[in-house]
Amino acid sequence: MRLTRRALLAALALLSVASPLRAEERLVLRGGGQELPLGPRQVVSASPYEDQVGYWAVRVTLTEEAGAAFGALTTALVGQTLEVVFDGDVLMAPKVMEPITGGEFIVTGLSQIQARRLGAFLRS
Domain presence at residue 2: no
Asked whether the predicted pLDDT for residue 6 surpasses 60, the reply is no
In this structure, what DSSP letter does residue 102 have? S
Domain presence at residue 15: no
The 10 Å CB-count burial string (b at 16+, else e) for 40-60 is eebbeebebeeeeeebbbbeb
CATH code of residue 43:
3.30.1360.200
The domain in which residue 86 lies consists of: 22-123
Domain presence at residue 4: no
Lowest mean pLDDT among 11-15, 34-38, 47-51, 78-82: 11-15
Domain presence at residue 12: no
pLDDT tens for each residue of 84-119: 999 889 999 999 999 999 999 999 989 999 999 999
Asked whether the predicted pLDDT for residue 14 surpasses 60, the reply is no
Domain presence at residue 27: yes
105: exposed, middle or buried (Cβ count in 10 Å: 0-12, 13-18, 19+): buried
- Sequence-distant (6+) residues with CB within 8 A of 59 are 45, 46, 47, 49, 104, 105, 106
Domain presence at residue 104: yes
Report the pLDDT averaged over residues 31-44: 93
DSSP bridge pairs for 30? 35, 83
In the chain, the number of structural domains is: 1
pLDDT tens for each residue of 68-86: 999 999 999 999 999 999 9
The confidence score (pLDDT) of residue 115 equals: 94
Q: What is the pLDDT of the chain when averaged over all its residues?
A: 84
Distances (CA, A) of 29 to 2, 38, 55, 88, 104: 29, 8, 21, 11, 13
Asked whether the predicted pLDDT for residue 24 surpasses 70, the reply is no
